[in-house]
Amino acid sequence: MALPIQGHDGVQSEPYQWLDWQYTGLHLFDINTINGGQATMESAGILVSEQKDENKNYASYPDKQRGVIKRESVHYIYGNEVWSTNWGNVEESTIGPQ
């Protein structure tokens, strides 16, 4: 499973509480099922499309933001750019933006 998510500082304790944005990325999750038991979900990595730095304090909000999974390949479309990686080896195999 893949979900586009914006990461912020800390844990929001109140609905109106503002937390600083840190990054935007496609979070990858493995869903493990056990016969007759409950399914579990584990992080499989993050394709980061943008992150906070001294010149960028706020996230962009592009019209296009999609994740595509095809066999062991993952592609993340963020605005007019694409990141690609291999499932299970995100840290070492990410290419992009293209």
Backbone phi, then psi, for 8, in 5-degree steps?
-125, 165
Q: Please say if the pLDDT value at position 88 is more than 90.
A: no
Q: Please say if the pLDDT value at position 3 is more than 90.
A: yes
Instruction: Please state the pTM of the whole predicted model.
Output: 0.83
Average pLDDT of the segment spanning 28-44: 86
- Which tokens in the block code for residue 11? 């844990």
Q: How confident is the model at residue 76 (pLDDT cuts 50, 70, 90)?
A: very high
Q: How confident is the model at residue 66 (pLDDT cuts 50, 70, 90)?
A: very high
- Which tokens in the block code for residue 66? 């999609």
> Lowest-confidence range among 17-21, 31-35, 68-72?
31-35
Tell me what pLDDT residue 71 has: 92
- Maximum CA extent, the chain: 51
Tell me what pLDDT residue 52 has: 93
Tell me what pLDDT residue 11 has: 86
